[in-house]
Amino acid sequence: MVDYHAANNQPSAGGAQSYMVQENDWDRDLLLDPAWEKQQRKTFTAWCNSHLRKAGTQIENIEEDFRDGLKLMLLLEVISGERLPKPERGKMRVHKINNVNKALDFIASKGVKLVSIGAEEIVDGNVKMTLGMIWTIILRFAIQDISVEETSAKEGLLLWCQRKTAPYKNVNVQNFHISWKDGLAFNALIHRHRPDLIDYDSLRKDDPVTNLNNAFEVAEKHLDIPKMLDAEDIVNTARPDEKAIMTYVSSFYHAFSGAQKAETAANRICKVLAVNQENEQMMEDYEKLASDLLEWIRRTIPWLEDRTQEKTVNDMQAKQEDFRDYRCVHKPPKVQEKCQLEISFNTLQTKLRLSNRPAFMPSEGRMVSDINGAWHTLEGAEKGYEEWILSEIRRLERLEHLAEKFHQKAAIHESWTDGKEAMLKQKDYETSTLSEVKALLRKHEAFESDLAAHQDRVEQIAAIAQELNELDYYDSASVNTRCQKICDQWDLLGTLTQSRKESLERTEKQLETIDELYLEYAKRAAPFNNWMEGAMEDLQDMFIVHNIEEIQGLITAHEQFKSTLAEANKEREAIQSIQAEVQKIAQSNGIKLSGANPYTTITPSSIDSKWEKAMTMVPQRDSALQEELNKQNSNDSLRAKFATQANTVGAYIQEKMEEIGRISIEMNGTLEDQLTNLKDYQKNIMSYMPEINKLEGFHQLIQEALIFDNQYTPYTMEHLRVGWEQLLTTIARTINEVENQILTRDAKGISQEQLYEYRASFNHFDKDHSGALQAEEFKACLISLGYDVENDKQKRSGQMVSDDFRALLISTGNSLGEGEFARIMSIVDPNNSGAVTFQAFIDFMSRETTDTDTADQVIASFKILAGDKNYITAEELRRELPPDQAEYCIARMAPYAGPDGVPGALDYMSFSTALYGESDL
C-alpha cells in the first residue's frame, strides 16, 4: 500500500496546502457512524454523478464502481478539465492498483495530502477509505476555492450561508449539521437568489420533511442540483453528517456563483461610494468652516480699521482693553480653526489622491491661500490698530498735560493782569506834587520792567495754544478764545503803558527828587518778585516722564534750583535791608512816611510771604519727584519681569521649533508609534501654555503702566505670539503628515519597510533639512531607489528594478530621461515651485507601485449587477446595494439615453467616470 501521507509529495507552487488541509478523521481502525455513512454514500454518489453524466456515465455503488480506477480517473478529468495519464485496460489487480495510483498522484499534484489512503484499499472496496478519498476530492475541487473575506474554505462557505440567510426568520446557520435539519436554510438560500421558485412565507418550521423535500425538488428541477440527501434521513438523525451537508451546500454555492459575482461587484461599488460620500462630507465641512472663518475676519477687520478718535486717555484705554480682550479671548479659537482648516484640507486632498479622485477645489474665495491672505490682512490691521491706540494714548496724554499747563499759566497771567488796565488809565499825576509825579514815573518804569518780564509767559501761553491746535485738541475752541483774550488784553496793556509813560515824561521836569532807596528797593524787588513767582510756577509745573533717565534729569534740575536758594535768600535779605534803611533814615531825619513805597506795590511782607510759600513748595516738589522716581523704578521692575519671562518663552519656542525640525527628519519606530509620540509631544508643548498666559499678564501690566519700550529684551509680545502660533501650527502639521502617511500606507498597501526606505532616501538628499527636495535632489532620490522611468514596460507594470540594476544606475550616475522626468515633476510639483515635499513623494511612489480601483473596474462591477446591460434600474440598485448607498446612486445617476433602455433606466457608466473626475455627473 502506498502511503500518501509522506509521499507525492510537496504542495504545488500555489501553496494550496496552506488553506486546504484534509481533516484527519479517516482512521482505518475506527468505524464510520452508520447514519453518517448512509448520508455520505448518497451525497457523494449524487455529487460524482452530477459530474460523470457530463461524460455520459454514472456510478451505482461508490465503493465498487471506483475499484478499477477508470471512472475515478474520468471523474478527475471532468472536474479538473485536465487530461490524466492513459489508464491501463487490464483486469488484473495490478492494473487496477496502477490506475487508482494515477488518480491519487493527480490529486496529490494539486497540493493535497492524502492521509492514510492507499490504492490497495480503494481496489479492495474499503468503504471508509473510498468515502474519505471522495471527500478529499470534493474539498479540493468543490470547496477549496470558496473564501469570503480571506477565511478558510469551510469558514468561507459558512459565512456565505450566514450572510445570504440573515434576513430570513427562523433561520440561524451556525454549522453544517443541525442548523439545516428543519429545511428552512435550504429554502432561504434558493429564495434569496431565485424568489420566483420558493414561497418562503408558506413554510412552517415544524414541518421539516416538507421543507427539505421542497428545497431538494426545486433545486433538482430548476437549478440542476441533483438530490443528494433524503429528507427523512436528515430529520431522523440527531446530527446530520457535516460532510454530506457541506457537499450539498457547496453545490448551491456554485449554482449561484453568478450571484456571488454580483455580490462582489456590489461590495466594490459600496466601497467606492463610501469613499465618495465621506469626501463630499469633508468638502462640505471645509466650505462651512472656511466661510465662517472668512465671515469672522470680514466682520473683524472694519473694527480694527476704525480710527475714530476719543477725547480722553480713559476713553482710549477702554478701547485698548477691548483690543486686549479680542487678542486673548476671541482670536485664539480662530487660530485653532485656521490650523484645523488647513489640516482638513490636506487630509482631504490626500484621501482624494489615494482613491484616484480629482483634487478638491474649494469654491471661489475659499482656498487655503485665500484664508491665509485674509488672515494676513487681519494681522496687518491688528498691528496698525494697536500702534494707533498707543500713539493716540500718547497724543491724548500730551494734550491733557498741555491743556492743564495752558490753563495754569493763563490763570497766573490773568491774576497778574487783574487791575492793571484800571491802574494804567489813572490820571493821578495831574494833581500830584513834583515829587509824587517823579515817584509815579519811577513806579511806571518798574511796571514796565514787570510787564517785560511777563512777555515770556504770554508767548508761552500762545505757543501752548498753537501746539494744542496742531495736535487737534478737542476743546481747542475754548483754548483759542481764552488765548485771544489774553493777547488782546496784553496788546491793550502795552498801549496803555506807552500812553501813561508819555504822560509822566511830560511832567518829569517837574519832579525834583526821588527817594533813591525806594527806587533801588523797587528795582531789586521787582525782578526778585518775578524770580519767586517763576520759581513757584516751576515748582508747580506739571511733568510727564517715561523712564528713569527722564525723572532723574528733573531731579537733577530741581537740585540745581535748590542750590541757588542760599544766594536768593541773600538777595531777599539785601532787599529787605533797603526797606530797613528807609525806616532808619526817616527816623533819624524825622521824616514822616506818607505810606507805602511809591515806586512799587511789592511790599517786604509780600516778599517774605512768597518766600515762605516757595520754601513750602520745595519739599512738595521733592516728594512729587521722588514719587515719580518710585513709579519709574516700579515700571523698570515690570520691564525686567516681562523681559525675564519673554527671554525664557522665546528660548523655549526656538528650542521646540528646532526639536520639531529634527523630529520631522529623524522619525523612528512605526508610524503609529511616531503619531503617539508626536501627540504626547504636542500635549507637552500645550502644558507650557500657563507660561504664555503668565507672560500675557506681565504684558498687560506693562501696557496699563503705559510703558512703551524695554531695553532688557529683544522680544515683543507680538513676536512671541506669532512664534507660539507657528509652533502649535508646525506640530499640528507634523502630526497631520504622519496621519496622511498612515492613510497612504493603509490605502495603498505600502509596508512599513518601504516607508522607512522612502523616508531614509528622502532625508539623505534633503541636505538643507528644509522638508523638500529640489528637482535635481529628487531625481537623485529616484535613482537611488532604483526607479527606471526609461523602461516603459517596467513602469507600466509598477515594479522597481533589480538590486543589480539599481547598483548599476547609482555607480554610472545614470540620469532619468528628461521627458519622463518632466512628466514626473508635473505630478509631484503641479504648481511648478521647483520643490517636492515628502507627502508628494510617497504619493507618487505608492501610485506608481500599487493597484487601485479605477473607473473601468467600477463600470465592470455595475455591469455585473445589471446583468450585462448598459443600464441599471433603481430596483436592481436597491436589491444589490445597502439602502443608503443605493439611494445615493439613484439620486446622482442620469437617465439612460441609449436606444435599448427602458423607462426609469439609469446611466451607470457616466456616473462611474464622474466618480474619478473624468466627466460631470
- Asked if residues 458 and 451 have their Cβ atoms less than 8 Å apart, the reply is no
What CA–CA distance (Å, rounded) separates 778 from 780?
5
What CA–CA distance (Å, rounded) separates 485 from 493?
12
Q: Given this model, what pLDDT does residue 815 score?
A: 46
pLDDT digits (tens, 9 = 90+) for 624-659: 888 878 887 888 888 888 889 889 999 989 988 888
pLDDT digits (tens, 9 = 90+) for 825-875: 888 788 888 888 877 777 777 666 655 667 888 888 888 888 888 899 988
Q: Given this model, what pLDDT does residue 738 score?
A: 83
pLDDT digits (tens, 9 = 90+) for 300-319: 999 988 888 777 878 888 88
pLDDT digits (tens, 9 = 90+) for 199-213: 999 999 999 999 999
Give the residue-averaged pLDDT of 726-735. 87
| Percent of the residues in the chain that have a pLDDT greater than 90, as a whole number | 16
Q: Given this model, what pLDDT does residue 795 score?
A: 40
**Side chain identity at 267, as an amino acid letter?**
N
Give the residue-averaged pLDDT of 690-702. 88
- Domains of the chain and any CATH numbers: 272-401 (1.20.58.60), 654-786+821-846 (1.20.58.60), 855-916 (1.10.238.10)
- DSSP letter (8 states) at residue 906: E
The 10 Å Cβ neighbour count of residue 656 is 21
Query: Given the DSSP bridges, would you call strands 772-774 and 894-895 parallel, antiparallel or unpaired?
Result: unpaired
Residue 667 predicted with pLDDT over 70: no
Residue 605 predicted with pLDDT over 50: yes
Query: Given the DSSP bridges, would you call strands 906-907 and 894-895 parallel, antiparallel or unpaired?
Result: antiparallel
Cα dihedral 750→753→754→759 (10° resolution) = 120
Helix (H, G, I), strand (E, B) or coil at 376: helix
What CA–CA distance (Å, rounded) separates 334 from 336?
5
Which residue is listed with cell 494681522?
379
173 pLDDT tier (thresholds 50, 70, 90): very high
pLDDT digits (tens, 9 = 90+) for 436-463: 777 888 888 888 888 888 888 888 889 9
73 pLDDT tier (thresholds 50, 70, 90): very high
- DSSP letter (8 states) at residue 872: B
Q: Which of 41, 105, 24, 25 is nearest to 72 (CA)?
A: 105
State phi, psi for 367 to the nearest 5 degrees.
Answer: -65, 160
Residue 814 predicted with pLDDT over 50: no
pTM beyond 0.85: the answer is: no
Count of residues making up the chain: 921
pLDDT digits (tens, 9 = 90+) for 756-796: 777 777 777 877 777 788 888 878 887 776 665 454 434 43
Q: Given this model, what pLDDT does residue 531 score?
A: 87
Please state, rounded to an integer, the average pLDDT across all residues of the chain.
Answer: 81
Q: Given this model, what pLDDT does residue 139 score?
A: 83
